[in-house]
């Protein structure tokens, strides 16, 4: 097809894709980051509205959000405030979709610039059949805008330095905006400044090597322009970032350092195990991408490698190498640094646009490599067939596109219990809407709703409904009438063995026949009343309540745990032991039960049994610090070196864990009193 025809198709398809994304955004669920960053953006708005008097945006000891620029969140909130927009989250999702479309469109323009409109159309198509990127485009105002700035920075840098209109003010402005936008969202955006100078060096190496005097003046001018671009971009990146404004250079670099060693760690399911995010295997990001990216994109990438020679002959191979570098370098850096990674590859969505560019270029080469008559139609049919799986998933499972898994792991069904699914808590929105409808039908207007992530916004129009947050495993400890729970932080054992969702579920939300969220209706509150009695030192009352509670809820391990505590307090030790072991049948990984059984065995001087429980607990949760201390006490005196080894492992994970420091001091008390005293003094400095 002629260039003019492809151009018309491209812009028409781009417009239709924009309409589609904006339409889909209307149904997008509210994610956990949605709530977190919107709340912080209000604090940022207040900072500017009060001319810096309101300092709450600078005081974020729990969320650490002062270290995020999150400029896109902030700008959207400014619009919400200025135009008095009622449904803030719906508008946020609209703007998120717009940024997602811009990321797609700029990537497509990048592809057109390199190899023509067919590549641009292929890029549009590959994004359209990419559930993960599409899903995040609907409600992720952090990672998607950063992906936009990242691909924009790469494209405009190359266009400025390798294009025909080198160093035009239009290109310079585009690079400045891209760098500023990237830094203003995440401090790691300064990587675009590094890319700027790297690309310049690679493209000007020949001149530098031959040291042509007549060219040195131009090179010097270019370097000055690059310094100006970097400075302007850096300055632009701080304008909507209160923390950066306090001391731009120091605080941006400090934020980058902080985010590279982010202190918040999370348990997550990966390869069927429940592990901490800072102990993920080195291949966590590559594998997460491999099993969630549509096979057609992976196939396109393979085609690019197979037909790489065509890239060499096209004269654009250096540009392609730079694009590939921008994909591999961040991933390699994270692997080498052993960074804290979580939530699949969400934080690395910025790698997807350049990857799609490579994949589309590979498919474009495939069309050129097989010039046989009708081969174009055959390749097109093959591409469509390979895209059927993700398209089918998106059509059937909107708005849960982001939890797509490809055929490598057997789709979402194969991934369930082996990998995180609704890690963004998106299903809580649909669950809330269903519960509101259910309560309206029943004529109920005053209830308490607990949820595994705040749902206050969803119930904002119903003042009689009080909402609060609880952890799923602690649901029996709180007073609620209805509960909204996603499958995040549910142990894979319970997911795989049908223990979750529980039998008393009122409503279940599915994605591809996999339960991702539920609504519970509490039929009986004896579990809560039993816990309250236990806390008020009324174990007999607690026992009576728990006996009743188990008639309604026999799949809640914490009920068994607290029931056993009450029994033990009343001297029913044998019964308590059997109740605890019944709880382990529901969840063999229940940490409080394992700890309690270990402590009981230790108290009864059953050392071997206590050792088994403590070791089992540590193997399940390497950060259950108390277990190290209790286990070390079993060895202390008889094998002090073994005890010290355990305590040092514990302190390696948590250097300020006071009981471990005291325990270490105790092991030296007889052998080396001076060293023991040193450790005791260290412990005294910790509150």
**Which domains does the chain possess?**
3-386 (no CATH), 427-521 (no CATH), 588-684 (1.25.40.10)
Residue 221 is predicted with a pLDDT of: 87
Residue 212 is predicted with a pLDDT of: 57
User: How do residues 1-43 score in pLDDT, each as one tens digit?
Assistant: 567 789 999 999 999 999 999 999 999 999 999 999 999 999 9
Number of Cβ within a 10 Å radius of residue 606 = 14
User: How do residues 279-314 score in pLDDT, each as one tens digit?
Assistant: 999 999 999 999 999 999 999 999 999 999 888 888
Alpha-carbon distance of 262 to 257, in angstroms, equals 9
Closest by Cα among 186, 96, 140 to 425: 140
Q: For residues 388 and 381, is the Cβ–Cβ distance under 8 A?
A: no
Q: pLDDT band at 374, cuts 50/70/90?
A: confident
Instruction: Please state the rounded mean pLDDT for residues 100-116.
Output: 98
User: How do residues 634-684 score in pLDDT, each as one tens digit?
Assistant: 999 889 999 999 999 999 999 999 999 999 999 999 899 999 999 999 999
- Rounded to 5 degrees, φ, ψ at 373 are -55, 135
Q: pLDDT band at 469, cuts 50/70/90?
A: very high
Which residues sit opposite 485 in a β-bridge?
518
Is it the case that residue 322 has pLDDT exceeding 70? yes
User: How do residues 178-233 score in pLDDT, each as one tens digit?
Assistant: 999 999 999 999 999 999 999 999 988 766 666 655 566 778 888 999 999 999 99
* Strand ranges in 452-491 using DSSP code E only, listed in sequence order: 465-469, 482-486
Residue 156 is predicted with a pLDDT of: 97
| DSSP string of 402-425, one letter each residue | GG---GGGTHHHHHBTTB-SSTT-
Q: Which has the minimum average pLDDT: 94-98, 201-205, 388-392, 651-655?
A: 201-205
Alpha-carbon distance of 557 to 580, in angstroms, equals 8
User: How do residues 535-549 score in pLDDT, each as one tens digit?
Assistant: 999 999 999 999 999
User: How do residues 136-155 score in pLDDT, each as one tens digit?
Assistant: 999 999 999 999 999 999 99
User: How do residues 251-264 score in pLDDT, each as one tens digit?
Assistant: 999 999 998 888 88
Instruction: Please state the rounded mean pLDDT for residues 114-122.
Output: 96
Closest by Cα among 175, 179, 230 to 167: 175
Alpha-carbon distance of 588 to 504, in angstroms, equals 21
**Apex 451 CA angle, 447 and 456, nearest 5:** 70
Residue 208 is predicted with a pLDDT of: 65
Per cent of the chain over pLDDT 90 is: 90
Closest by Cα among 116, 228, 85, 117 to 167: 228
Is it the case that residue 110 has pLDDT exceeding 90? yes
Residue 211 is predicted with a pLDDT of: 60
Alpha-carbon distance of 183 to 248, in angstroms, equals 11
User: How do residues 238-254 score in pLDDT, each as one tens digit?
Assistant: 999 999 999 999 999 99
Closest by Cα among 515, 504, 508, 510 to 549: 504
Burial class (CB in 10 A: 0-12, 13-18, 19+), 288: buried
Instruction: Please state the rounded mean pLDDT for residues 362-388.
Output: 91
Is it the case that residue 82 has pLDDT exceeding 60? yes
Number of Cβ within a 10 Å radius of residue 640 = 17
Provide the token pair at 114.
């390199």
* Strand ranges in 572-645 using DSSP code E only, listed in sequence order: none
Alpha-carbon distance of 347 to 424, in angstroms, equals 12
Residue 375 is predicted with a pLDDT of: 79
pLDDT greater at residue 167 or residue 407: 407
Residue 215 is predicted with a pLDDT of: 62
Residue 315 is predicted with a pLDDT of: 85
Number of Cβ within a 10 Å radius of residue 371 = 8
Closest by Cα among 175, 107, 100, 171 to 132: 100
Report residue 362 CA to chain centroid gap.
29
CA distances to 76, 249, 259, 350, 584 from 253, in Å: 25, 6, 10, 20, 47
Alpha-carbon distance of 216 to 209, in angstroms, equals 11
**Apex 683 CA angle, 681 and 687, nearest 5:** 120
Alpha-carbon distance of 45 to 52, in angstroms, equals 10
Helix (H, G, I), strand (E, B) or coil at 447: strand
């Amino acid at each position: 097809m002629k260039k003019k025809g492809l151009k018309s198709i491209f812009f028409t398809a781009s417009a239709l894709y924009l309409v589609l994304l904006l339409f889909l955004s209307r149904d997008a669920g509210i994610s956990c980051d949605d709530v977190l960053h919107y709340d912080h953006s209000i604090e940022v708005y207040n900072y500017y509205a009060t001319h810096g008097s309101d300092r709450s945006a600078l005081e974020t000891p729990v969320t650490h959000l002062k270290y995020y620029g999150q400029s896109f969140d902030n700008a959207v909130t400014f619009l919400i405030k200025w135009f008095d927009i009622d449904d803030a989250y719906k508008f946020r999702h609209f703007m998120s979709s717009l940024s997602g479309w811009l990321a797609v469109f700029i990537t497509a323009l990048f592809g057109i610039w390199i190899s023509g409109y067919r590549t641009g159309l292929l890029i549009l198509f590959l994004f359209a059949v990419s559930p993960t990127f599409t899903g995040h485009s609907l409600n992720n105002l952090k990672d998607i805008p950063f992906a936009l700035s990242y691909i924009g920075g790469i494209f405009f840098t190359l266009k400025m330095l390798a294009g025909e209109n080198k160093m035009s003010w239009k290109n310079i402005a585009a690079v400045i905006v891209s760098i500023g936008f990237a830094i203003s969202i995440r401090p790691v955006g300064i990587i675009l400044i590094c890319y700027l100078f790297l690309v310049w060096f690679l493209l000007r190496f020949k001149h530098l090597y031959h040291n042509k005097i007549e060219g040195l003046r131009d090179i010097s001018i270019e370097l000055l322009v690059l310094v100006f671009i970097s400075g302007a971009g850096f300055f632009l990146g701080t304008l909507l970032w209160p923390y950066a404004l306090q001391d731009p250079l120091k605080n941006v670099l400090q934020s980058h350092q902080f985010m590279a060693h982010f202190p918040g760690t999370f348990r997550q399911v990966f390869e069927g195990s429940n592990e901490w995010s800072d102990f993920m295997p080195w291949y966590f990001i590559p594998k997460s991408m491999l099993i969630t990216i549509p096979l057609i994109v992976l196939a396109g990438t393979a085609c690019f490698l197979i037909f790489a020679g065509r890239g060499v002959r096209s004269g654009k191979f250096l540009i392609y190498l730079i694009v590939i570098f921008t994909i591999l370098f961040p991933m390699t850096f994270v692997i080498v640094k052993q960074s804290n990674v979580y939530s699949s590859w969400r934080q690395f969505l910025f790698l997807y646009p350049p990857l799609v560019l490579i994949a589309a270029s590979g498919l474009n080469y495939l069309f050129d490599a097989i010039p046989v008559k009708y081969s174009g139609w055959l390749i097109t049919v093959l591409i469509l067939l390979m895209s059927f799986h993700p398209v089918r998933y998106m059509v059937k499972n909107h708005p849960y596109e982001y939890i797509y898994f490809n055929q490598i792991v057997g789709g979402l069904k194969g991934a369930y219990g082996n990998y995180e699914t609704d890690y963004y808590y998106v299903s809580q929105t649909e669950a809330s809407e269903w519960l509101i409808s259910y309560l309206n039908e029943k004529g109920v207007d005053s209830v308490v709703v607990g949820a595994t992530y705040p749902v206050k916004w969803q119930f904002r129009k119903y003042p009689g409904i009080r909402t609060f947050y609880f952890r799923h495993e602690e649901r029996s400890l709180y007073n609620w009438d209805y509960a909204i729970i996603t499958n995040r932080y549910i142990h894979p054992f319970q997911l795989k063995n049908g223990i979750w969702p529980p039998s008393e579920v009122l409503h279940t939300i599915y994605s591809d026949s996999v339960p991702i969220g539920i609504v519970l209706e509490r039929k009986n509150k004896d579990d809560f009343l039993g816990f309250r009695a236990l806390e008020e030192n009324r174990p007999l009352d607690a026992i009576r309540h728990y006996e009743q509670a188990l008639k309604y809820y026999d799949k809640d391990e914490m009920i068994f745990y607290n029931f056993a505590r009450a029994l033990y307090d009343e001297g029913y030790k044998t019964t308590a032991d059997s109740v605890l072991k019944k709880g382990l049948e529901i969840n063999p990984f229940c940490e409080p039960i394992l700890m309690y059984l270990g402590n009981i065995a230790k108290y009864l001087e059953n050392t071997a049994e206590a050792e088994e429980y403590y070791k089992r607990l540590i193997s399940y949760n390497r950060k259950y610090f108390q277990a190290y201390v209790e286990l070390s006490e079993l060895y202390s005196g008889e094998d002090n070196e073994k005890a010290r080894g355990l305590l040092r492992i514990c302190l390696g994970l948590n250097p300020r864990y006071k009981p471990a420091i005291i325990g270490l001091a105790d092991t030296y008390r007889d052998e080396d009193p001076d060293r023991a005293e040193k450790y005791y003094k260290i412990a005294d400095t910790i509150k």
